[in-house]
Chains A and B, each alone.
Chain A
């Protein structure tokens, strides 16, 4: 291998990143739905 066996750090980092970004997208989506319902 030659390099340190530390993929776990990257995995955690990517999981956190994706959760935050997708999480925010979900929040925005719920707000969008709520707003569209209220507009009727």
Chain B
């Protein structure tokens, strides 16, 4: 049972990523978008008052958040066009596996965008990411998991409504607040060479948020797709 769950998840993820890879437009636009956002943050400050290090964490996380939302958007636009998910659901495949697969596919997309953005960020803002890199990646992973899991669940519902592109951000944004606050605080500290252990409170928050919402979304997915 567990293996069919995993198999389903991996095949759904693979299918989504294959489709995405063929056109690559979403990747390209997300990266261009990230560069533009970073540039705007860089230039929209009084350089005598705000140092690069001051604004860098916010710039990074606004970029990551919006890039994640772009990624989620394209994922469900794909669905809308093909109604592929209906075909999958008619079969005997475990529902939770389908959800897991969608989440994995979205995570992979967003992860690639983030991994490309990170060095660009270090370059543009002249901030040291090499030393704290493992911790930085860990924090990014935890926060991204939060956005993508809740975002995927909300997409599954919103894709069936009118005004879907508007509804997703409106519903999702409140859910981004706790992970982003934690991620920015930790990132700011890491870029200032503080050890990860200084941030145990925020790490606990991120971890419990991930656990609570991954569990809740896994349990609730069934209710969004039953026919």
A–B direct touch in complex (beta carbons closer than 8 A): no
